[in-house]
Amino acid sequence: MTLEESIDWAGASRALAEWYRENGRHLPWRLTADPYAVWVSETMLQQTQVSRVVPLYLAWLSAFPNCRSLAEADESAVLSLWRGLGYYSRARNMLASARLIVSAGYDGPPNDQAFLAGLPGFGPYTAAAVRALAYDEPTAALDGNLRRVSSRLTDLDKDPALSEGNKVCQRAVESLMKFQSPRLLTNALMDLGSGPCAPRPRCLLCPLEPYCLARKRGTTALRPVRRAARPIRRRFGAALLFSTQTKLAVRQRPKGGLWSEFWEIPWEVGSDGEDSGVTARRLAASLGEESFPEPLTPSVTMRFTSWQVETKLFRAASQPTGTELLPVDDALSLPMPLGILRLLREALQSGLIR
DNA sequence: CATCCGTGGTT
DNA sequence: TAACCAAGGAT
């Protein structure tokens, strides 16, 4: 029996639509089908939780209400509105794509798969999400939620992120879309994936429970299949504080890599197992310091996807090579890694600056 | 295909 | 609390 025959897609689709009308979340980006607003929300939501996006989405739409206003913005203004969301290339790509969209004579991302696929920041997911949510096209926007829901619904025994499993998920969602609005179903599947079909499932609340093959076979906990996570690497790091009465020594990070072209106080991650004091001394020496940096109290843990760094703050006796002195307030308003910013705020509160 | 790219919430 | 999770994209 093929996948298409093994599930009552019409029934499942109807149950999902009815459930969504009663239980769907009321989110600000669902008040409009404006392709630009859909694009903004979908980009912000990449690997980022809804609760974190809501206020920043509203602030962004207020500052850049349409594609043209974004296209005319400065990168610094864009990055400032992105502060706290991480993955800053998303913001830079949005600015670049807005300019391409306006140059092509559109006032927002068009319903044109080939054009969208050529825009920076538009991968398979975002392009499909704009088409399904803004234009109601029967296109499967496969994110983590839809992959998880599809994996369980079809009892998929392969990783849904890899090519073969991805195709099965795509067919499942397209099967549902034969019977209900793609826009409604996409939103409904998202809400299912963050509620009843969250990583820890609550099948008794799920409208697809009567249709779910994993539920039928008792394999829900095994779905979706995923490969083992890599261990988290742990390191120590050191940051150098040098300040005068009202100014702070900062430098700009190189282009490319982590926090491309962001500003920081001199900061370095130690090698495996290295104490932060050793790192601080090496960093200071490499920047022309003759005396040992003085250890201070503030420290932060910066966590990334597959590694984390506990960074401690040290005071340098003279201005490190390669830094410039900026008024403290100006320095703190530059695009800066949030971990460094937290370190500096702690230093301000403890009176270490000024 | 694996890895990098941020940050904070949840369990 | 350490591990995992969250509406991915670029390389």
Span A205-237, pLDDT tens digits: 999 999 999 999 999 999 999 888 888 899 999
Q: In the predicted model, what is the mean pLDDT of residues A116-140?
A: 98
The gap between A292 CA and C9 C1' (Å) is 42
Report, as an integer, the average pLDDT of A242-257.
Answer: 95
Asked whether residue A182 is assigned to any structural domain, the reply reads: yes
Q: In this predicted structure, what is the pLDDT of residue A170?
A: 97
Q: Do A155 and A190 reside in the same domain of the chain?
A: yes
In this structure, are A158 and A243 located in the same domain? no
* Closest residue (CA to C1') to nucleotide C10 in the complex: A121
**Are A134 and A203 in a shared domain?**
yes
Establish if A228 belongs to a structural domain: no
Which nucleotides on chain B have any atom < 7 A from a protein Cβ?
A: 1-11
For residue A227, the model assigns a pLDDT of 86
Query: Taking residues A124-139, what's their average pLDDT?
Result: 98
Instruction: Flag whether A119 is in a domain.
Output: yes
Which protein residue's Cα is closest to nucleotide B3 at C1'? A306
Element (H, E) at A176: helix A163-176
The answer on pLDDT for A119 being more than 90 is: yes
Q: Taking all residues of chain A, what is their mean pLDDT, rounded to a whole number?
A: 95
Q: Which of residues 197-216 of A touch strand C (CB under 7 A)?
A: 198-199
In Å, how far are A239, A315, A346, A347 from A296, measured between CA atoms? 10, 7, 11, 9
| Confidence check: pLDDT of A316 > 70 | yes
Residue A150 belongs to some domain of the structure? yes
Distance A215 CA to B6 C1' (A): 36
Task: Check pLDDT > 90 for residue A148.
Answer: yes
Q: Is the CB of A227 under 7 A from strand B?
A: yes
User: Burial letters for A59-84: b for 16+ Cβ neighbours within 10 Å, e otherwise?
Assistant: ebbeebeebbebbebeeeebbebbee
- Is strand B in 7 Å reach of the CB of A306? yes
Contact A30, A133 (CB under 8 A): no
pLDDT over threshold 70, residue A55:
yes
Least confident range from A74-83, A105-114, A226-235, A240-249: namely A226-235
* A222, A254, A286 - which closes a domain: A222
Percent of chain A with pLDDT over 90: 93
Q: What does residue A102 show for φ and ψ, rounded to 5 degrees?
A: -65, -40
Does residue A167 have a pLDDT over 90?
A: yes
Which of residues 165-204 of A have CB within 7 Å of strand B? 200
Question: Taking the mean position of all CA atoms in its chain, how far away is CA A156?
Answer: 26
Predicted confidence band of residue A3 (pLDDT cuts 50, 70, 90): confident
Q: How far is the CA of A227 from the C1' of C1 (A)?
A: 23
CATH number at residue A83: 1.10.340.30
Looking at the fold, whether A200 and A295 belong to one and the same domain comes out as no
pLDDT at residue A1, as a whole number: 64
**Residue A152 sits in the same domain as residue A37:** yes
The answer to whether the C-beta of A333 is closer than 7 A to strand C is: no
> Is A247's pLDDT higher than 80?
yes
- Whether residue A274 sits in one domain with residue A195: no
- Within this chain, do residues A200 and A256 fall inside the same structural domain, yes or no? no
Q: For residue A87, give its domain range.
A: 3-222
User: Does the predicted model carry a pTM greater than 0.85?
Assistant: yes
Query: What was the pLDDT predicted at A305?
Result: 87
Q: Which residues of A are catalytic?
A: 42
Give the pLDDT score at A230.
84
Report how far residue A188's alpha carbon sits from residue A296's, in angstroms, rounded to the nearest whole number. 51
Per the structure, the residue whose CA is closest to nucleotide B5 at C1' is: A87
pLDDT, average across residues A318-325: 97
Q: Is residue A354 very low, low, confident or very high in pLDDT (cuts 50, 70, 90)?
A: confident
User: How distant is C1' of C7 from CA of A190, in Å?
Assistant: 7
- Are residue A277 and residue A338 in the same domain, yes or no? yes
For residues A171-179, average pLDDT: 97
pLDDT tens column, A177-194 = 999 999 999 999 999 999
In a domain, A31, yes or no: yes
* Count of domains for chain A: 2
Q: What is the pLDDT of residue A129?
A: 98
Q: Which helix (H) or strand (E) holds A4?
A: helix A3-6
Which bases along strand C come within 7 Å of a protein CB atom?
3-10
Chosen domain end from A222, A250, A274: A222
For the cut 70, the answer to whether the pLDDT of residue A127 exceeds it is: yes
CATH of the domain at A239: 3.90.79.10
Q: Are residues A290 and A253 in the same domain?
A: yes
DSSP state of A243: B
Torsion sign across C-alpha atoms A280, A281, A287, A293: positive
Would you say the C-beta of A286 is within 7 Å of strand B? Answer: no
Asked whether the predicted pLDDT for residue A196 surpasses 90, the reply is: yes
* Listed residues A192, A222, A252: the one ending a domain: A222
DSSP letter string, A250-286: EEEPPSSSTTTT-EESSEEEPPTT--HHHHHHHHHHH
For residue A74, give every residue at least 6 positions away whose Cβ sits within 8 Å of its Cβ, in sequence order, or none: none
- pLDDT, one tens digit per residue, over A77-97 is 999 999 999 999 999 999 999
Lookup: tokens for A233: 């690497």
